[in-house]
Amino acid sequence: MKDFRDLASKMASGMQPESTPTSSTPDNSQPTIVCRDPDHPEAACPICGGLGLVRYEVPMSHPRFGKLFRCPNFPLEADQERRERLRKISNLDAFVGKTFQNFEIEPAGYSSTETQSLAIAYNGASNYAHNPDGWLLLEGPYGCGKTHLAAAVGHQRLEQGDAVLFVTTPDLLDHLRGAFSPRSDTTYDELFERVRETDVLILDDLGVENPSEWAKEKLFQLLNHRYSRRMPTIITTNCDLDSLDPRIRSRLLDVQVIRHVKLVAPDYRSQVQNQREQLLSRLPMYNDLTFDNFDVHHNTQRDEQTNLVQAAQASADFARAPRGWLML
């Protein structure tokens, strides 16, 4: 996973500061201009400053409050370029294979209750990805698929043009502390602002951190800002909600803002390991079945014997050099 501070500093080219009004002068400090002045193509757009996005100055109660919208001058054909740029700063590259298409709802060996839980979680996350209003809380034990679903939401929102940031809670707090270092390329205020204002924030493993009072306060400030504005936020946790900061817990229990999905499935990785061990545990039953004592002549016709000899030879060759599959 890339250094989070590097990713956050790059987000400046894909997000607009909170104080930016609907109409603004071009910001010459921006390294990339994605939206240009229609009358002067060499210049940045006077509305969005070249970012392609605008934030409207409206009352907090207005539906547009706290959200980013396409600039009227931003061409549709620039979407693909922008999506690729946003993907690079999303921190989702480590989860490129975690999509809705390959999320397994009915793994082998799961009970009906467990598969039903996975189906409900899948539908909840998929619905949220199509309409990310408020927060999505994914609660469940290690390895049950929470992070997979959270990443799948992130990938889908990236395709829709949202700026997405995926980060584990411990990493976030570490990097916020590290931003105070004189060797840091990103100031604390810049880093905190980028995380706070990203279109979609995915906060993985909430509750596994052991925060200081300072870190606990900063985490609350971040989440409270996004909560009060209903900014799309996905949180995964394997902790009992009662063990969280009471202020954060109270917000996670607000059914007006939070879509709470609880998974009861076991650790998928442990399940795969158990199946492998069960298979290996049965091998001693066949210790006396070897190539040396394979009998091609017992109760067989000549053509059948020829076929068995060929099958035995193919199997022995595969055992010596197992490449690809062997179908018998």
Cβ pair 145, 263 in contact under 8 A = yes
Between 136-145, 147-156, 224-233, 264-273, the lowest mean confidence (pLDDT) is in 264-273
Q: Which two tokens stand for residue 291?
A: 């190539």
Calculated CA dihedral for residues 157, 162, 165, 166, nearest 10 degrees: 0
Whether residue 90 contacts residue 154, with contact meaning beta carbons closer than 8 Å, is answered with yes
Question: Alpha helices, DSSP H only, in 21-111?
Answer: 79-88
Q: What are phi and psi of 128, to 5 degrees?
A: -65, -40
Residues 6 or more apart from 197 whose CB is under 8 A from it?
A: 15, 17, 18
DSSP state of 162: -
**R_g of the chain, CA atoms, integer Å:** 27
Shortest CA distance to 66 belongs to which of 213, 203, 177, 227?
227
Confidence band, pLDDT 50/70/90 cuts, at residue 4: low
pLDDT-based confidence at 206, cuts 50/70/90? very high
Residue 305's Cβ-side half-sphere holds a number of Cα atoms within 13 Å equal to 8
pLDDT tens per residue across span 119-163: 999 999 999 999 999 999 999 998 899 999 999 999 999 988 889
Which has more confidence, 279 or 88?
A: 88
Q: What is the rounded distance in angstroms from the CA atom of residue 146 to the CA atom of residue 262?
A: 9
With beta carbons less than 8 A apart as the criterion, state whether 49 and 27 touch. yes
List the single range of 190-194, 233-237, 277-281 with lowest mean pLDDT.
277-281
> 90-268 belongs to which CATH class?
alpha beta
Give the residue range(s) of CATH 3.40.50.300 domains in the chain. 90-268
Q: What angle do CA 311, 315, 320 make, to 5 degrees?
A: 150
Which of 87, 82, 89 lies closest to 7 in space, CA to CA? 89
Query: How many angstroms separate the CA atoms of 113 and 67, rounded?
Result: 39
d(CA 151, CA 99): 7
Tokens of 173: 């707090």
